[in-house]
Amino acid sequence: MTAEPMTMPALSAPFPGAVPEPVDETPPANPGRPREEQGQEETFESFAHGLLEATRAESWVHEARRLGTGLGLAALFGGALGLRVGGVAIGSHALGVAAGLTAVAAVASPAFAIVLALVNAPISGFTLARATSGAVARAGLILGGLAPAAALYVVTVEDAITVSVVGFASLALAGAIGVSSFATDLRTPLAAASRDTRRWMTVAMPAFVLFAAVLALRVWWLALPVLTGAR
Amino acid sequence: MKSFEGSVFDVTLMSRILRAPADVAADCRDDRDASAMARNALIAIVVGSLLFGAAVGSWHGGAQTFFAAGKLPIVMLATLVVCAPAFYAVSAVFHRPWSARSVLSLMLVSGARFSLVLLAATPPLWLLINLGASYDLSKLAASFAYGLAGLAALTLLVRGLGDGPGKRSMIALMMAIFLLVGAQTSWMLRPYLGTPGVQHVVLFTREREGGLVYQLWKSVEHVVDPARPGDRP
């Protein structure tokens, strides 16, 4: 049971003859929000909030932590896929799923940085790194969340095709969410770019997304034999 | 609104879950009285699905009634446990980074609403079976009740999401995850009705039966055309 709040604004009408309750006269810090919500807003931060929200200050350590956490959560999903075979496959599939995201972050993203410089886009290396770590964190969080459901399916279904569909659908969903996050994070700085740069970006961004998708798919195809029927 | 002092089960809360899902969802989101809400929701989930399971198992009767009554609450709770991390992750990615407590209480009260609707569907289902409904009709009636209960739970979940970006995508995604996990969990622990033509009762079957969707489709075919040759004994 939670404690009764100090003030009870208009939740229940007082009965006749009732002594009015003392009212807290101190002005609220944020008049647009109910008083009881404000304290929670200031003090509370969930794990997901800390992972997904970028800090205002430039902190490479924070971004590296987000990247590492995202990869770790993605590895949980890989481990769940490996449960179909068991043993070493749990570890190898965990590494395999993380490898797909790592390939995009370590290969595709730096290549995209060169393209951004070529078209003179006003995006710093840190902004790109932050967008990349945010995308990996979101994709990893989704994959980590889906890991128990994936484990349920890979362990209990009889046919291999269901495992492939569930596995690739989950990876595709996480990839789409990651790409969406990446594009959203870069949209604001790109809005300040020149018209020529923006025109180039209408080609460069879809090309990057396509390249990243094919790269991740190729890595997962090679590293996740449970999904491709090789096992 | 208050519950009766010292009572184990808060009937007022159940009434609020049915009548004012938006208010209850808001309480879950804001983490108000979460432990009491979770306790009452768990009781509702177990009792509602247990009685519904007993009604389903009464088609065969005997030990099957108790087996089905025991398995349905496990299906419900297992589905919630498996879906909880997915719900937490999906809500966070779609700009709702709530605490795990808020997500869990929202899921539990949705599960309670689901079970309360199952509880309401239990007497009609039992009567249908008692009047001699066929295996296929009983199975479809139970599935229909499950579908109605799912819609009722979804209503609460949708209210709980509040307004904000990505709401429709999130609802579609969560529905897909709940359906897939719920279907697989219930399929794993079959049978609930029993097997037509088979007198002995088994707790679990490991027959290759083609999956849940295939079996529901076969039942529709049998109800529409009872003379159709089937692939069951």
Low-confidence ranges of chain B (pLDDT < 50): 1-4, 232-233
CA-CA distance, A215 to A114, in Å (whole number)? 18
- pLDDT at position B227, please? 72
Question: How many domains does the structure of chain B reveal?
Answer: 1
CA-CA distance, A71 to A139, in Å (whole number)? 9
Q: Is residue B99 part of a domain?
A: yes
Q: What is the pLDDT of residues B70-116, one digit of tens each?
A: 999 999 999 999 999 999 999 999 988 888 999 999 999 999 999 99
- pLDDT at position A206, please? 94
User: With pLDDT > 90 as the criterion, what percentage of chain A qualifies?
Assistant: 54
Which residue in A35, A53, A141 has the most chain B C-beta atoms within 10 A of its own C-beta, making it the best mutation to test that interface? A141
Q: Is residue B5 part of a domain?
A: no
Using CA coordinates, name the residue in chain A closest to B101. Answer: A46
Give the domain extent around B168. Answer: 11-224
Taking a C-beta distance cutoff of 8 angstroms, is the pair B147, B74 a contact?
Answer: no
Rounded-to-10 torsion of CA A94, A97, A101, A104: 130
User: With pLDDT > 70 as the criterion, what percentage of chain A qualifies?
Assistant: 79
Task: Give me the amino acid identity at B45.
Answer: I
**pLDDT confidence tier of residue A55, bands split at 50, 70 and 90:** low
Å between A168 CA and nearest CA of chain B: 14
Q: Is residue B1 part of a domain?
A: no
**pLDDT confidence tier of residue A209, bands split at 50, 70 and 90:** very high
Q: Does A136 touch chain B (CB under 8 A)?
A: no
| Distance (Å) of CA A221 to CA A102, A108, A168 | 15, 17, 10
Q: Is residue B230 part of a domain?
A: no
Taking a C-beta distance cutoff of 8 angstroms, is the pair A136, A178 a contact?
Answer: yes
Q: Tell me the range of A43-52, A69-78, B132-141 where mean pLDDT is highest.
A: A69-78
- Please say whether the dihedral angle defined by the alpha carbons of residues B159, B165, B168 and B172, taken in this order, is positive or negative: negative
**pLDDT confidence tier of residue A35, bands split at 50, 70 and 90:** very low
Q: Is residue B206 part of a domain?
A: yes
3-state secondary structure (DSSP) of residue B157: helix
Cβ-based contacts of B100 with chain A (< 8 Å): 46-47
Cβ within 8 Å, pair B90-A145: yes
Cβ within 8 Å, pair A148-B90: no
**pLDDT confidence tier of residue A44, bands split at 50, 70 and 90:** low
**pLDDT confidence tier of residue A72, bands split at 50, 70 and 90:** very high
Residues 141-180 of A with CB under 8 A from B: 141-142, 144-149, 152-153, 156-158, 166, 173, 177
Question: Which of these ranges, A91-100, A197-206, B16-25, B219-228, has the smallest mean pLDDT?
Answer: B219-228
- pLDDT at position B218, please? 72
From the CB of residue A3, how many other CB atoms can be counted at a distance below 10 Å? Answer: 5
Residues 6+ apart with CB under 8 A from B161: B91, B96, B167, B170, B171
Paired tokens of A131: 């967008």
Q: Is residue B55 part of a domain?
A: yes
- pLDDT at position B208, please? 67
- pLDDT at position B164, please? 81
User: Mean pLDDT, chain A, as a whole number?
Assistant: 82
- pLDDT at position A167, please? 93
Q: What is the pLDDT of residues A116-163, one digit of tens each?
A: 999 888 999 999 999 999 999 999 999 999 999 999 999 988 778 888
**pLDDT confidence tier of residue A32, bands split at 50, 70 and 90:** very low
Taking a C-beta distance cutoff of 8 angstroms, is the pair A84, A77 a contact?
Answer: no
CA angle A104, A107, A111 (to 5 degrees): 110
CA-CA distance, A189 to B194, in Å (whole number)? 63
Residue with tokens 């719920």: B182
Across A96-110, b (16+ Cβ under 10 Å) vs e yields bbbbbbbbbbeebbe
CA angle A58, A56, A141 (to 5 degrees): 90
Residue A14 pLDDT > 80, yes or no?
no
Q: Does B107 touch chain A (CB under 8 A)?
A: no
- Which ranges of A57-108 would DSSP assign to H, the alpha helix? 60-82, 88-103
CA-CA distance, B133 to B226, in Å (whole number)? 13
Q: Is residue B3 part of a domain?
A: no
- pLDDT at position B70, please? 94
Task: Give me the amino acid identity at B136.
Answer: D
Q: Is residue B231 part of a domain?
A: no
ipTM greater than 0.85: no
Q: Does A43 touch chain B (CB under 8 A)?
A: no
CA-CA distance, A48 to A56, in Å (whole number)? 17
Cβ within 8 Å, pair A156-B97: no
CA angle A188, A193, A194 (to 5 degrees): 150
